[in-house]
Amino acid sequence: MSQIPPLLAENFDNVWICVIGMPVMLIVLAGVSWRSAAVGSKAGLAMAGGTAGVGAILFVAAAMAHATGWVLLISALPTVIGLSAIFTWNGKPKL
């Protein structure tokens, strides 16, 4: 198997948007979905499922890129919060 050569770039100024901005946005969305799920809303469940799925994809992508520990942590938080929102909604009595 031949090895793929690394991509070279000259400017990494806007990489922080993907590395920090996306996980923070997903964490905020997961928090909103957790609040909605705690009340018993099905919209909270839908937001939590999407947040957990996208967060899992983000975490796997960061892990495959051999990211540092803090990047893995903020990449895993949306999935953890989203799954906790789903379990919170599941434990609520439905009206």
pLDDT tens digit sequence for 53-91: 999 999 999 899 888 888 889 989 999 999 999 888 887
pTM of the complete model: 0.75
Residue 22 has pLDDT above 70, yes or no: yes
**How far is Cα 15 from Cα 69, in angstroms, rounded to an integer?**
17
30's tokens: 């997961």
Residue 32 sits at φ, ψ, to 5 deg, of -65, -40
Mean pLDDT, rounded, for 21-49: 88
**How far is Cα 65 from Cα 25, in angstroms, rounded to an integer?**
21
What pLDDT, on the 0 to 100 scale, is given for residue 4? 64
Give the mean pLDDT of the chain: 83
DSSP label of 17: I
